[in-house]
Amino acid sequence: MRLHLLIATILFFSFPDAVSVAGDTRLLSVISGTSKHDFTVEIMRTPEERSKGLMHRRQLDAKHGMLFDFGGAVIARMWMKNTYIPLDMLFIRENGAIANIAADTVPHSLDVLSSEGDVRYVLEINAGLTKRLGIKAGDRVELP
């Protein structure tokens, strides 16, 4: 038991990007016009999971992301503290419609990025993807 704990501690501090944040991993699709874009996402449901998010990670694989589930409609407020990866944040209503997008967020910024109205989810993907894929407010997300 002690050896496993020691190995896990060494791995965490040696390779922090290799240690996954707690959470469920699922497939999610964004429907934009006639195009469907699939992403493998980690789902953050608890306050502890949501507070950590993608902090301290150095990369996010292509077609991967993180979905924050607030459990109900809220004005979502996000920031980039301790986040090294520039992101696009999609603020998503309970019905799956994208309310607004914060594109090309600035790593380590303490600026608050908010939803325009109540949303239930925030999807974080690599910066520039919404523009490259043509994803915009009003598009729909098929949630897991």
Over residues 39-93, the pLDDT tens digits come to 999 999 998 888 888 888 999 999 999 999 999 999 999 999 999 999 999 999 9
Whether residue 10 lies inside any domain: the answer is no
Whether residue 4 lies inside any domain: the answer is no
- The per-residue pLDDT for range 84-96, each reduced to its tens digit, is 999 999 999 999 9
By the 10 Å C-beta count (0-12 exposed, 13-18 middle, 19+ buried), 5 is classed as: exposed
- Mean of the per-residue pLDDT values for the chain? 86
Whether residue 31 lies inside any domain: the answer is yes
Whether residue 67 lies inside any domain: the answer is yes
Whether residue 30 lies inside any domain: the answer is yes
Task: Please tell me the total count of domains within the chain.
Answer: 1
Full domain range(s) for residue 127? 20-142
Whether residue 135 lies inside any domain: the answer is yes
Angle at 140 between CA 100 and CA 76, to 5 degrees: 35
pTM for this entry = 0.82
Instruction: Scan for tokens 């150095």, then name that residue.
Output: 58
Whether residue 8 lies inside any domain: the answer is no
Whether residue 114 lies inside any domain: the answer is yes
For residue 127, give the CATH number of its domain: 2.60.120.1140
Secondary structure (3-state) at 137: coil
pLDDT at 67: 96
Is 38:65 a contact under the CB 8 Å cutoff?
no
Is 87:59 a contact under the CB 8 Å cutoff?
no
Secondary structure (3-state) at 2: helix
